[in-house]
Amino acid sequence: MTNQAVSCDICGQPTKMIGTRLCDPCWECKTQINSLISRNPEAAIKFLKMKITEAEILIEKLKVFRGTKDKDMEVENGDHGGDEKNSTENLSANQNVM
């Protein structure tokens, strides 16, 4: 057996799983999502949309935290320095809608 590592096709982390080219967390996530899709496609869509929204909110918070958020983007999206509480409330509202 070789100690060769490759980059995970999803997250880019090194993995020794050269057959699947997926690290353990990404393989598990992909497997579980595929299972949910095959059992209940509507629930899978609802779940994935919710997780995408959560990821988008996190990315925006990280951009602000790192000071890389584009000022034009703030105005375009109507983001005028709202507080974290509003972001959390928006996330909760989005989850209830889906």
Whether 3 has a pLDDT exceeding 80, the answer reads no
The H or E element that residue 48 is part of is helix 41-66
In single-letter form, the type of residue at position 98 comes to M
Give the number of other CB atoms < 10 A from CB of residue 57: 16
Domain count, the chain: 2
**Pair (21, 60) in one structural domain:** no
**Pair (98, 50) in one structural domain:** yes
**Pair (87, 55) in one structural domain:** yes
Give me the pLDDT at residue 59, please. 94
Range list of β-strands (E), the chain: 6-7, 14-15
Query: Model confidence over 26-75: pLDDT tens digits?
Result: 999 999 999 999 999 999 999 999 999 999 999 999 988 887 665 545 54
**Pair (73, 97) in one structural domain:** yes
Query: Which has more confidence, 98 or 56?
Result: 56
Can you give the pTM of this predicted structure? 0.58
33 in Cβ contact with 25 (< 8 Å): no
